[in-house]
Amino acid sequence: MPRVAVEETLTHVEQALRAGGFEVVPLREDLLQQVDAVVISGQDANLMGMADRQTEASVINAHGLTAEEVVQAVRERIRRMHESGTAM
């Protein structure tokens, strides 16, 4: 099951990802190397920089997207990672 780290404020996205079959974990520095994707709100530039630097997982900015659009983006990014052989 793909594992996705989600920023704390994105509870609606977290629920949609769980309903879509993803394992959801909190966005914490110590978990960044153990996830397939990271979802951020885009409101905190420092958080975006931390996620970009500390993980090879796909980072998805949820700003302006519905929860369903975020789930679709996560699925697509993970699919591409598996196709290219870079998935966890």
> pLDDT value at position 50?
56
In the predicted model, what is the mean pLDDT of residues 63-85? 93
> pLDDT value at position 29?
85
Three-state DSSP string of the chain: CCEEEECCCCHHHHHHHHHCCCEEEECCHHHHHHCCEEEECCCCHHHHHHHHHHCCCEEEECCCCCHHHHHHHHHHHHHHHHHHCCCC
The third-level CATH classification (topology) of the domain covering 3-84 is: Rossmann fold (3.40.50)
Where do the domains of the chain lie? 3-84
Q: Which residue has the higher pLDDT, 68 or 88?
A: 68
Residue that has been written with the tokens 């990672």 in this structure: 81
Q: What is the pLDDT of residues 26-62, one digit of tens each?
A: 998 888 889 999 999 987 655 555 555 667 788 899 9
